[in-house]
A and B are shown apart, each in its own frame.
Chain A
Amino acid sequence: MSKKLRVATTSLAGCFGCHMSFLDIDERLLALLDLVEFDRSPINDIKHCGPCDIGIIEGGVCNAENVHVLHEFRRSCKILIAIGACAINGGLPAQRNHLDLSSCLTEVYLTEPGLAHGHIPNDPELPLPLDKVHPLHEVVKIDYFIPGCPPSGDAIWKFLTDLIAGKTPELGHGLIKYD
């Protein structure tokens, strides 16, 4: 067996549903661990991404920190995979894209009662939101996409094993879905 592939994963403007679905490959995770080892990932809590073969990113880009992390992944990973509806077309967070950002914040924090003591959160540690939510491929080059909200564990398994085997990943009927 040659050297294990190094894999990093992260969630940007996502809900971690794709990561949960990733865990749905269940006992096949053990077979996967024969082939790969994990770099930065919520699975191990490593905070920064070192040189990797594959980066898997869930969620779109909705704030300045997302942009920063996405660039770190692109710099570090030979192959970058966008996983899930949000990474691919912005998904649910992008449904604010036809609205003005300040009117969204005003509606949530000022108009509606009971939130943030009547002001728009402005702690310097909070990453600034972008005016629009972007799919990953609008910010960096993305090599592969696994659609679904979330993609099923079977779809993720098929895609990754195709890729690791050096084949062009194909999902086919039943595994490819956008919802």
Chain B
Amino acid sequence: MSDTFQLDGATVPFEPGQTVMQAALAAGHYIPHLCYHPEFKPHGSCKLCTVKVNGRTTASCTMPAEANLNVESNIEEMNALRRTLVQMLFAEGNHFCPSCEKSGNCMLQALGYDLEVHATGFRHLYPDRPLDASHPDILLDFNRCILCELCVRASSEVDGKNVFALAGRGITKHLIVNAESGLLKDTNIALSDKAMQVCPVGVILPKRVGFSQPVGVRRYDQRPISAQALDDAPRQTDASGNCEACEGSS
């Protein structure tokens, strides 16, 4: 029998080596997140998944699960903190949803909806971030980057290409392309790469797609992100060793 911890009053089993986030999702409990992706090593940068563990705040995606932890996630104190984080991400970049092709399929937007964020409340920075439209098939719109490093991780760990990286520090931190020219056309990125599929916002876009889905049928039009994230999460295998969720999502 595996060990367990408490999450918002529910008993959650975990395997040795699992994080609080992994164990929670596997057991069907949603914890909001942006930079966490079940297929990649936890990054711990967006802090949306912050929970209280035995009274102290910590990122649940990097916190190793331990027996008898008391984890509080869906409480007003944590949700208020998450709301502020979402607001700061919106104020920091240029997130104009009405003119974004990713709108309706965007995790940042969907989290804002789920957390009932009505406005940023902060002074918008309106940074100047030119596009990279050099590649014949792929557009980079840096205005929407939230620095989650999912494309960086996907390109190096899965594609073996190292197309992306983060450069700079603090408020000047930004996504760069690993080419002498700095342009995407001088890399070997391909439409079929994993890095093309993982951007939670609208930075890495295939060209000539545009607004292909009408409002109402896009991913998060149908069900909130809190419901869908559980569908995508890798589940514990059943007695026969099958995991429907994993096979369905691949």
Q: What is A's interface to B at a CB cutoff of 8 Å?
A: 82, 85, 88-92, 94-95, 97-98, 132, 135, 137-138, 142, 144-147, 149, 170-174, 176-179
Contact = CB atoms under 8 A, between A and B. Distances in A.
B136 interface: no
Contacts of A94: 96, 124, 126
Contact of A91 (B98, B116, B221): B98
The B contact surface, by secondary structure, is: loop
A137 B118 CA distance: 12
B109 interface: yes
B98 A149 contact: yes
Given A173-B113, A173-B223, A173-B224, 10 more contacts: A85-B98, A89-B96, A94-B124, A98-B129, A135-B119, A172-B116, A176-B118, A178-B97, A179-B109, A179-B215
B128 interface: yes
B103 interface: yes
B32 interface: no
A146 B116 CA distance: 11
A97 B112 contact: no
The 7 A-B residue pairs with the shortest CB-CB distance in the complex, in nearest-first order: A145-B119, A178-B97, A98-B128, A97-B126, A149-B98, A145-B118, A179-B97
20 contacts: A85-B96, A88-B118, A88-B119, A89-B120, A89-B124, A91-B96, A92-B98, A94-B96, A95-B96, A98-B126, A98-B128, A135-B119, A135-B120, A137-B119, A137-B121, A146-B118, A173-B113, A176-B116, A179-B97, A179-B103
Contacts of A135: 119-120, 124
Given A82-B119, A144-B118, A170-B116, A179 B100 contact: yes
A92 B96 CA distance: 7
A19 to B, nearest CB: 17
A89 B90 contact: yes
Contacts of B121: 137
Contacts of A171: 116, 118
Contacts of A178: 97-98, 103, 109, 112-113
A170 B114 CA distance: 11
Contacts, number: 77
Contacts of A146: 118
B94 interface: yes
B215 to A, nearest CB: 7
B173 interface: no
A87 B223 CA distance: 27
Contacts of B97: 85, 149, 178-179
Interface in B71-110: 90, 94-100, 103-104, 109
A144 B98 CA distance: 20
B182 interface: no
A92 B99 contact: yes
B45 to A, nearest CB: 23
Contact of B94 (A98, A138, A145, A172): A98
A173 B96 CA distance: 20
B127 interface: yes
B2 to A, nearest CB: 34
A6 to B, nearest CB: 23
B223 to A, nearest CB: 8
